[in-house]
Structure 1
C-alpha cells in the first residue's frame, strides 16, 4: 500500500471549453514530486457523466480532444507513482437527463441528490435498473484497456429506493412496496448485485487489482459490505462535514478488520469542489500524522483545474505534510494496535428494546461521546463489533443502547471468564425485553426515569471538582442495588420537569437534594451507570460526565489488570496510540497534539501547532526493552525499566512525535 496518495477530483461541466489544454507531462510530474506523492487517483468518469479518454462504453467529454487519462497514467508511471482510476458510479448527470426513470426515487417520487431537475445538482441512480449494465461496461473498459493500479467507485451503498423498477420487482415477488422489511431486503440485494457486477468487471481481466466502493462512511458491524472491497479508504474531511471526531471513530474500527486502510482528508478549506480554498499546512501535517497513528496510509483530496494544469500552491502545501510522512513510513507499515479497552460500537450492536427500534440519534451519539472521552483520557482503545476477537482486551464498554442478545451474552461470558470487565451505561446490559440485566453489574432494573434532566451524586471525588450534584441531560434510568453489589453513586431528581405551570429559572429546576436511589453500581462483571452518559457527553461535553467515566474506567482497569498499559501527561486534546510492528520487534507510540478552533459559521480549522512541554511516559511492558528512541529523528531517549514499567520523558515536541520501543537487535538506530 502506498502511504502518500492524492485523490484528484475532476468533475467538469460540458459548458467549460478547452478541457486539459494546459496538461503537461513535465508539469504533472513536477507537481507530484513537489508534493512527495507516490499514488494519485485519476479520473475515467466524473459526476457529470463524461469520460476523460476515448471510450466505446461511454462518451468522451465534448470539450476534450485527447486521452487525458492515458497521459496522466503514463506520466505518473514514468516516475514510479501509482494510478488508481476513479469512476463515478452513483452519479451520471449526462445519463440522468436521458433516463430519469433509472434514478432513485423516494415515496413521493422525488430524486436525490437534487430533488428535481429545476435546480443545479446531481441525481443518483438506482442499481436495480439497466444503468448497472452500462456502468459495468464502463468499468470493464477501463480495467482492460489501461494500466491502472486500482479502481475507485464513488457514491454507492445500500440505498432506499421506490423507483418503478424496485416497485415492480417487489410486486413480482408477491410483496408490496409498503412492506418496509421486504423493501429493505430488496435494497440489500440490489447492492450485493452491484458489488458482484463490479467485481466481475474488474477482476475478470485483472484478478489482483485493488477495488474500493466509496460511501463516505464505513458502517461498523457490516463486515459483509466491507468485504466487497480489497482495501478501505476512510473519507473524513474534518472541515467538510465530518469533523475532527469522525476519523478516529472510523479508523479505530477499520484497523481491526485486517485490511489495508487509507485515511482520506482534503487540501480544501472546507470540502470537495472548492477551487481556490486552502487549509493551513499545519492542518494537513496533523491530519496525515493522525492517519499514521491509526495504522493507515494517507490520501489528500484535490481537484484538477479544467485546463489540466496542476496547482503549484496545492502541491507545495501537500508536500509539507507528505515529506514528513515519507520520513515516518518505516515505523508505520504492517502494524497492529495495542489496546486495553474495546468499545462495542452502538452502530454495530444497538438493540431494539421491546417494540422500540434503536433511536438513530442515541446510537450515533453513544459512539461519538465514548470516543471523545477515550481520546481525551488518553486511553488505548479499539472499536469492535460482534465478530471481533475480544479476549485480548481488559475492558469492554457497552455504550448506552446495547441489549444483551444470546450471541452477545456468549461472547461476554467468555470475556469475563478470562478476567475482563464490562462498563455499561443507559439501557446497555439489559435483555432486549427490558426484564432484567443479563450481566452481574450490581444493578436491578426498574425502568426509565420520568425526569429530565436528573442529577448524579458519585460516591467518589472527581479529579477537578468537589462533591456536588452533577447535571445529566441525557436519559436516566431507575435501578436498585443488587445483592452483594457495591453502590458507587446515587441519583437525584429535579423538583419537577419544566412544563407550563412548573418551571423555575431559565433552563431547568435544580435538584431537590434528596436521594432518589442508586445510580452507579459495581458487581462481579463490572460497573453500570444509570444514564446515557456517552450520548450526554456527545451533546453537552460535560466535565463531570467525562471525569465520572474516567474514574470508573480507571477503577475497572485496576481491577482487571492492575494498571493501564500507558500513562502520559498530555493536555486533553492530545491523542495517543500504540502500534505493534512485529516484523521489526518493536512498539511505536504516537503522540499527537492540535487544537481545532471554530472559524466562520461552522468550520473547524487547525492553524497553530503549539509546542508541547516535555511529556512523561509510563508504559507497562514485561519484555526487556533494548532501546528507546524518537522517530524519525533516530534520537536515543534515556529510559528506565523496573518492575514491568518503562519510564521515559519525551523532550518538547510539536504536532506528532513517535517513540519507538525496540525489543531485539533486528533494527539499529
Structure 2
C-alpha cells in the first residue's frame, strides 16, 4: 500500500450536463503532484449507477462522451500514481425503480437508506437477489478491461433484510421470519456468499489484485470479515459525526491483528459530497499524523466536479498534509504497537446497540477517551486475542462473560494480570451475578441515579469529597478478598415530579446506613460499581476520569511510558522491528465545537518541554533523535528507564530510539 492516497468520489446525476468536459490529463497530473499524492481511488461506477467508461454490461453516463476512467488511469500511471478502482455495490439508483423487487426492505416493507421514492436519496439493494449476478458482471468487466491497482467495493456488509426473496428463502427453509435470529443468520450467509463470490471472480481474472469491502466502521470481534479483504480502509471522518476518538478506537483494534490498513478521513468541512467545503490545513496535518501514529497509511476523501476539473484549493490543502507524510514514511512502515493495557471492547462481545454514538457504543467510546487522556499505552482486543501480552485488561461497563471468556480471564489473572471492571462487566451473560472473582457479590441494581462515590484516597486535583456519578450502577457487597477503596453514598431520594429538591439532583446524605461498597480492590484487580465509561462519554466529568486513572495506576505500577503531555495529546510507542528502533509518536491538537456538534481543529498550539520516561527492561538505547528532522535529542538512560524532553511539539513529533 501507498501512504498518500486520495479517495475521489464521483457520484454524479444524469441531470447534470457536460460530464468530464473539462478533464485534462495535464491538470489531473498537476493536482496529484501538488497534493503529493501517490495513489488515487477513481470511479468505474457511482451510487447513481452510471459507468464512467464504455461498458457492455452497464450504461455509460448519458452525458459523458469519452472513457474517463481509462484517461484517469493513464494519466496517473504516467506519473507513478496507483489507481485502485471504485464500484458502488449497495446502490445503483438508476435501476431502483426498474427492479424494486431487488431492494432491501425492513419489517414494515420500507426501503433502506431512504424509506420510499418520494424523498431524495439512495435505495440499498439486497445481495440475495439477481442483483448479485448483475454487480459481479460489472466488476469482472472492469478488472478485465483496465489496469486497476485494486478494487474498492462500497456500501456492503452484513444486513437484516425482509425483502420477498429473503422472506421466501426463510419460509422454504422452515424458519420463521418473525424470529430476528433467523433474519440475522440469513444476512450473515448472504454477505459471506457475496464477498466470496466477488473476490473469487476478481482473482480468477487477476490473482492477488487488492480488494477491499467498505462498510464504514469495522466491527470489533468480526475477524472473519477481514478474510474477504486484502487490506482494510478505516473510514473515520472526525467532522462528520465520528469524532476524533473513533479512529484510535478502530486502529488500535486492527493494528494488532496484523492486517494492512489505512485511515480514511476527508478534506470536507463535514461529510462526503460537500462541494465548496474545506478543513483547515492543520486539521488534515493532524488527522494524517494520527494515522501514522497508529501504524496506518493515509487516505483523504475528495469529490471530483462533474465536469472533471480537479480543484486546486483542495490539492493545495491536501499537499500541506501529504508533504509532511512523505517526509515521515521511513519511520512508519512495518510497525507494531507497544501496549500495557488491553481495552476489551464491548462491541466485540456481541453488544449491538450503536444508537448512542457514531458507529460505537458509549461504553467503548468513553473507555478510549479515558485511556487516551491518561496517556496509557493500549490496544483494543476481542475475545480471541492473546490476553497474556498485557498487564491490565479494562472491561468497560457491559462486558458480560461467557464460558470461553471466563476461562481466558481466569488464566490471565492466574499469571499475574489485573482487571479493571466497571458496571456489569465480569458478570454472567444475563448480568445477574459475577462469574469472575473481583472480591464482590452483586445484590441488585442500584435504585438511585444519580448518586455519589467517596474515595479513601486523595484525587489528584480534587482531594476527598462525595463525587457525583450520573450513570447506572450495581449494588454490591464485599466477598472474600475484597477491600473497599471508595464508598457509594446515596442521595436522600430520586428526583421525580412530586418529590424533588433544587435545580437538578438530590444531595447526598451523611447517614452511615446510606453508604455501601462502591469501588473494591482485590488480588484480581479493581471493580467499580457504576457505568463509568458511559458516564464519561456523555458527561466528561473530572471525578470520573480521575477515579479511572487512579485505579489504572494502582494496577499498572510500572507503565512503559509516562509523560506530562496535556490531556488532549495522543501518544503511541511503535516498534519498527525491521529497523531495530522504537518510534514514540507525540500529537497535540485541541478540537473545538463549531455549529451543531462539529469538531474542528484549526489552531495548532505549540506545547513546550514535553517530558517522556520510558520503562524498557532489557533494551539498551544507542541514540535518540527527532524525525523527520534527524535532530539528535539528549537522553538519559538509568537502568531500565530512558528519559528525554522534547523542546517543542507542534501537532506531531516522532522521537526515534535506536536499539543496540
TM-score, with normalisation over the residues of structure 1? 0.96
Matches within 5 A, 1:156-555: 156-349=156-349, 361=356, 364-434=361-431, 436-515=433-512, 516-555=515-554
Q: What is the CA deviation profile of residues 47-85 of structure 1, one whole-angstrom value per residue up to 9, with x for unaligned ones?
A: 000000011111100011111001101111111100000
Distance 2:18 2:256 in 1: 46
Shift of 1:439: 2.3
Shift of 1:432: 2.5
What secondary structure, in the 3-state scheme, does the structure 2 residue paired with 1:248 have?
helix
What secondary structure, in the 3-state scheme, does the structure 2 residue paired with 1:614 have?
strand
What secondary structure, in the 3-state scheme, does the structure 1 residue paired with 2:196 have?
helix
Distance 1:321 1:10 in 2: 23
Shift of 1:120: 1.2
Task: Find the counterpart in structure 2 of residue 643 from structure 1.
Answer: 639
Shift of 1:171: 0.8
What secondary structure, in the 3-state scheme, does the structure 2 residue paired with 1:97 have?
coil
Q: What is the CA deviation profile of residues 3-43 of structure 1, one whole-angstrom value per residue up to 9, with x for unaligned ones?
A: 00000000001111111111111111111000000000000
Distance 2:135 2:582 in 1: 45
Does the Cα contact within 8 Å between 2:268 and 2:279 map onto a contact in 1?
yes
Q: Is 1:617 paired with 2:612?
A: yes
Q: What is the CA deviation profile of residues 492-525 of structure 1, one whole-angstrom value per residue up to 9, with x for unaligned ones?
A: 1111111122111111111113342111111111
Q: What is the CA deviation profile of residues 159-218 of structure 1, one whole-angstrom value per residue up to 9, with x for unaligned ones?
A: 111111111111111122212111111111111111112112211111211111111110
Does the Cα contact within 8 Å between 1:233 and 1:262 map onto a contact in 2?
yes
Distance 2:596 2:156 in 1: 30
Distance 1:470 1:607 in 2: 34
Shift of 1:435: 5.1
Task: Find the counterpart in structure 1 of residue 67 from structure 2.
Answer: 67
Shift of 1:611: 0.7
Distance 2:335 2:184 in 1: 38
- RMSD of the alignment, in Å? 1.3
Distance 2:510 2:226 in 1: 50
Task: Find the counterpart in structure 2 of residue 80 from structure 1.
Answer: 80
Does the Cα contact within 8 Å between 2:586 and 2:649 map onto a contact in 1?
no
Task: Find the counterpart in structure 2 of residue 128 from structure 1.
Answer: 128
Distance 2:500 2:92 in 1: 55
Unpaired segments of 5 or more residues in structure 1?
Answer: 352-356, 665-669
Does the Cα contact within 8 Å between 1:218 and 1:226 map onto a contact in 2?
no
Does the Cα contact within 8 Å between 1:358 and 1:401 map onto a contact in 2?
no
Unpaired segments of 5 or more residues in structure 2?
Answer: none
Does the Cα contact within 8 Å between 2:353 and 2:361 map onto a contact in 1?
no
Task: Find the counterpart in structure 2 of residue 12 from structure 1.
Answer: 12
Does the Cα contact within 8 Å between 1:292 and 1:298 map onto a contact in 2?
yes
Does the Cα contact within 8 Å between 1:350 and 1:402 map onto a contact in 2?
no
What secondary structure, in the 3-state scheme, does the structure 1 residue paired with 2:648 have?
coil
What secondary structure, in the 3-state scheme, does the structure 2 residue paired with 1:262 have?
strand
Distance 2:127 2:511 in 1: 59
Q: Is 1:138 paired with 2:135?
A: no
Distance 2:295 2:178 in 1: 44
TM-score, with normalisation over the residues of structure 2? 0.98
Task: Find the counterpart in structure 1 of residue 596 from structure 2.
Answer: 601
Distance 2:166 2:212 in 1: 25
Q: What is the CA deviation profile of residues 579-626 of structure 1, one whole-angstrom value per residue up to 9, with x for unaligned ones?
A: 000000011000000011111222111100011111111000121100
